[in-house]
Structure 1
Amino acid sequence: MRSTPAGPERVELGVQSLADVVAGVPPARRVADIVELGVHADRVGIDVFGVGEHHTSRFAVSSPAVVLAAVAARTSSITLTSAVSVLSVLDPIRLYQDFAQLDQVSGGRAEITVGRSAYAEPFTLFGVDRNRYDEIFAGRLDLLLALRADDAGERLGRLRPELRDSTIVPRLDRLLPVRVGVGGSPDSARRAGALGLPMTLAHLIGGPGSAARLVRAYRQAWQDAGHPGAADVGLASHLYVGATSQGAREDFYPYYRTYFREGRGVHLDRAAFDEMAGPEGALLVGSPAEIGDKMLRQREALGAVRFVGQVDLGGIPQVPLLRSVERLADEVAPVVHPRLSPTSSLL
């Protein structure tokens, strides 16, 4: 059952798919499974569902808004976000329109998470100079924020010819939520803080120290800019919740090894995997109690108010995948929610 409405006093739990394709699974089947994952997440009470954007044959989704719209049609409560939208290569007007339309379709549940991309292919495909990608990203983010506030007129000329006598639709009766997805760049964290935008940090490898440095940079920029309220930190990690800690590791390791081999060309041995899943590692694989305890430690250390797990990687079958999501909702959430302390400032 879904817990009380999300707010600053309570963490949000989410799941996401980056839609990696495994040999033997047709892309259309992969997309259908992703939609079913989102529907199931809503049904069991998960707060957030995200879908990634990629532009190579190694992934099944190039348009998160389209897939999220399919999820929206079969759900009622879950927040629907991109993970991430590659704003460095996208037209901000088109991106705004797609997600504003999704917001209407979903009854006000759309959110955009923007990022710069860790892959070279989108820049070649869309003819964007990769050497200028940070500059281009910053300009397009500025325009996206102006578009959602209906204040884009004079800013359009910085990136494209100005629009005259044009209305950008659809208009919403709320400010379309925008988050910034951050990998390992302190400059990206500082940009999100300076703009007063929520940040979702990819916390995939290493201990809490590296993440803490990025969160500290984000919060300092937020404070220096004079933004009111508490900075909003989310963490995105790889996640699998099993019935027991050992069982979860035994079940998940073969798929995680495949994910590393096919996605990164790296052999992940069992010792390295166990270290990543250990108390100080970023990998969220274990029993419900173990995952809940690790989230609480990360909450205390980093002040995170959202945890999103990438759950369907390496070809993991749909049945154990959906069971893992059920455990997240039914067994991890009760461990996490009642015991949350005030958000850490890290300053």
Structure 2
Amino acid sequence: MELGIGMFGDLALDPTTGKYRNAGVKMREILDEVKLMDEVGIDVFAMGEHHREDYAVSSPEILLAAASSITKNIKLASGVTVLSSSEPVKVYEDFATIDQISDGRAEIVVGRGSFIESFPLYGYDLSDYNELFEEKLSLLLKINSGENVSWKGRLRAPMNNQTVYPRATNDGKLPIWVAVGGTPESVLRAATLGLPLIVAIIGGMPMQFKPLIDFYKQEYLKAGHLESEMQIAIHSHTFVSEDPKVIEDYFENYKAQMDRVGASRGWAPYTKMQYDGGRSADGALFIGNADEVAEKINRVKEAFGLTRFIGHMDIGDPSHDIMMKSIELFGTKVSDQVR
């Protein structure tokens, strides 16, 4: 099974100044962290896309391109590309460029977008939320299948035997994953198309998602796709430290970011009880020492038949030195127990 680390580029708020941390400093720290991931043998790095003041990265493609020049083996993926508000031709071109620079290590992870700031920012109507994704995914898959593209939809101008360059290294084809938050319709779409699935599990209990993953497997095979090519991943909040005080103190970082996001979604303030419950054996937070985190990953690996686990590791913008130690532990002690 592949082990990966995902990030959103969270920026901590300075309570004394009321300003968020410098985005450039954060981006440079992320590149240092990806370089370490590569050195300790992490399989995948996934960079998210956000268009808010409390996140540093709105263009994961640019950061991944920078990461491709300082790494040798790690796969470089979006986490996710909000495809509904993106241009599929440009998405393919950007990731094919990263793929060429990195000698075949680029992947695209597409999603409808749980954060919707990009829709009004880029001039899209939220009432077209579902149709935009379906149309643009069909176009992206068409581009990925061949350099000469003819395609027609309702919300974007048609393409008539037009060419898209550069092409990716593997006969022009990039790995394209679909990320879902638990909607059966999204799972069915991925299964029918035969696309790899990533399920975001950030709350509740992971085992609650087993029927959804079983549904994907059932529909994937029903659609005639090969079981040997099936790929399933989960993406969950993760942090590793051998120091109990670091884990205890991390609650403040975690709460700060969850409350910022929750303020716009009507969530109640995040509590220590939720944090401790999430960290329990059955909870969805993979936060603890290396043994605890590895044990939880192994449990979901066996239950779901996972081929990949992505640990989302920078929530609330913990300090760079603590992040580096978490990455090192994930790539050594946790990895040894999982592999």
Normalised TM-score (structure 1): 0.90
- 2:40 counterpart residue number: 44
> Are residue 97 (structure 1) and residue 96 (structure 2) matched?
no
- 1:225 counterpart residue number: 223
- The 3-state SS of whatever aligns with 2:207 is helix
Q: 1:151 to 1:216 in 2, by over 3 A?
A: farther
- The 3-state SS of whatever aligns with 1:113 is strand
Q: 1:152 to 1:212 in 2, by over 3 A?
A: farther
- CA distance in 2 between partners of 1:152 and 1:124 (Å): 31
Shift of 1:301: 1.1
How many pairs does the alignment contain? 326
- 1:20 counterpart residue number: 10
- CA distance in 2 between partners of 1:109 and 1:284 (Å): 26
- CA distance in 2 between partners of 1:176 and 1:74 (Å): 21
- 1:279 counterpart residue number: 281
CA contact (8 A) 1:55 1:121 kept: yes
CA contact (8 A) 1:143 1:152 kept: no
What are the residue-to-residue correspondences of 1:18-97 with 2, within 5 Å? 18-24=8-14, 25-97=21-93
- 2:338 counterpart residue number: 336
Shift of 1:163: 3.7
What are the residue-to-residue correspondences of 1:149-160 with 2, within 5 Å? 149-150=145-146, 153-156=149-152, 158-160=154-156
Paired residue for 2:144, among 134, 145, 148?
A: 148
Q: 1:154 to 1:34 in 2, by over 3 A?
A: same
- 2:241 counterpart residue number: 242
- CA distance in 1 between partners of 2:148 and 2:238 (Å): 39
Unaligned runs of 5+ in 2: 15-20
CA contact (8 A) 2:151 2:160 kept: no
Shift of 1:91: 0.8
Shift of 1:161: 3.2
Shift of 1:268: 2.1
- CA distance in 1 between partners of 2:84 and 2:162 (Å): 24
Higher mean displacement: 198-207 or 257-266: 257-266
For residues 281-319 of structure 1, the C-alpha deviation after alignment (integer angstroms, 9 at most, x for no partner) is 010011111111111110111111111111112121010
- The 3-state SS of whatever aligns with 1:227 is coil
- 1:344 counterpart residue number: none
Shift of 1:262: 2.3
- 1:289 counterpart residue number: 291
Shift of 1:23: 1.8
Unaligned runs of 5+ in 1: 1-10, 338-347
CA contact (8 A) 1:50 1:80 kept: yes
- CA distance in 2 between partners of 1:224 and 1:241 (Å): 39
Amino acid at match of 1:210: Q
CA contact (8 A) 2:256 2:316 kept: yes
What are the residue-to-residue correspondences of 1:288-327 with 2, within 5 Å? 288-327=290-329
- The 3-state SS of whatever aligns with 1:160 is coil
The share of aligned pairs that are identical, in percent, is: 36
**Runs of at least 4 residues off by over 6 Å:** none
- The 3-state SS of whatever aligns with 1:312 is coil
Cα RMSD (Å): 1.6
Amino acid at match of 1:286: G
- CA distance in 2 between partners of 1:120 and 1:76 (Å): 34
Shift of 1:120: 2.7
- CA distance in 2 between partners of 1:135 and 1:82 (Å): 21
Shift of 1:58: 2.3
Amino acid at match of 1:257: K
CA contact (8 A) 1:248 1:287 kept: no
- 2:188 counterpart residue number: 190
- CA distance in 2 between partners of 1:317 and 1:241 (Å): 13
CA contact (8 A) 2:234 2:308 kept: yes
CA contact (8 A) 1:153 1:162 kept: no
- CA distance in 2 between partners of 1:79 and 1:130 (Å): 32
For residues 22-60 of structure 1, the C-alpha deviation after alignment (integer angstroms, 9 at most, x for no partner) is 224111111111122211111111110011011222211
Amino acid at match of 2:5: V
Amino acid at match of 2:289: S
CA contact (8 A) 2:148 2:164 kept: no
- 1:3 counterpart residue number: none
CA contact (8 A) 1:14 1:49 kept: yes
- The 3-state SS of whatever aligns with 1:166 is strand
- The 3-state SS of whatever aligns with 1:49 is strand
